[in-house]
Amino acid sequence: MKKLRVFESISIDGYFTDRAGDMSWAHAGQEDPEFAGWVGGNASGGGELLFGRITYQMMEAFWPTPVAAQQMPVVAKGMNAAKKYVASRTLKPTWNNTHLVQGDLVEAVRALKAGAGPGITVLGSGNVAAQLGGAGLVDEYQFVIIPVALGGGRTVFSSGRKLRLVDHRAFPCGNVVVTYAA
């Protein structure tokens, strides 16, 4: 059975978007070669990716471009090579290696998890992450905690959840990566 991981950048007070739905705060701040190296290693770890429509469209607009290949070549290579799933009722995916998840999201992901192969990571896609977490399908949460307090916004959790810390790492830029088992 495949493991399902949620990977999300969140503010120090637990939000993945601010009240206006903006996420640009997650990419602002100091350059940190150590953090950039970790991101590159994380992106080249193999596995499959699952997106909601909005996150997929943002990723599809950037990662296949020459700018992405120049700015973050390791991450771009991993993102473009990965098998990708997108949950959408309206989208016709064009990014290579992308498969449309149709029908009931929870049942479709339950079937994907039951198959053989590498794990699946929900990348961003807070609505998808909340639905799958609420259905008990998430095995692990990995958060990049950005040192900014938003004071409100959207959270990845649709209900209370007890998690167990399995790993953590702090970076000079102030970001902290924490991994929790669900």
Least confident of 13-17, 41-45, 76-80: 41-45
**Which pLDDT score, from 0 to 100, does residue 111 have?**
95
Which band of pLDDT confidence, cut at 50, 70 and 90, is reported for residue 117? confident
For 60-107, the pLDDT digits (tens) are: 999 999 999 998 898 899 899 999 999 998 999 999 999 999 899 999
Integer Cα distance of 79 and 96 in angstroms: 10
The CATH code of the domain that includes 58 is 3.40.430.10
Token pair listed for 76: 């771009």
pLDDT of residue 28: 67
Angle formed by the axes of helices 105-114 and 126-134, to 10°? 70
Q: Nearest 5 degrees, angle CA 105-CA 108-CA 113? A: 120
Q: What is the pLDDT of residue 30?
A: 63
CB 81 within 8 A of CB 46: no
Buried/exposed 66-105: b ≥16 CB within 10 Å, e otherwise: eebeeebebbbbbbbebbbbbbbeebebebeebeebeeeb
Give Cα separations from 128 to 57, 138, 164, 170 (angstroms): 14, 11, 21, 27
As for how many domains the chain has, the answer is: 1
Tens-place pLDDT, residues 119-159? 999 998 888 999 999 999 999 999 999 999 999 999 988 77
| Residue 21, Ramachandran bin (φ over 0: left; ψ between -120 and 50: alpha; else beta) | left
Distance CA 20, CA 22 (A): 6
pLDDT of residue 79: 92
Check whether 48 has a pLDDT greater than 70.
Answer: yes
Residue 8 has pLDDT above 70, yes or no: yes
Instruction: Give residue 65's domain range.
Output: 4-181
Q: What is the pLDDT of residues 21-33, one digit of tens each?
A: 888 888 766 678 8
Burial class (CB in 10 A: 0-12, 13-18, 19+), 30: exposed
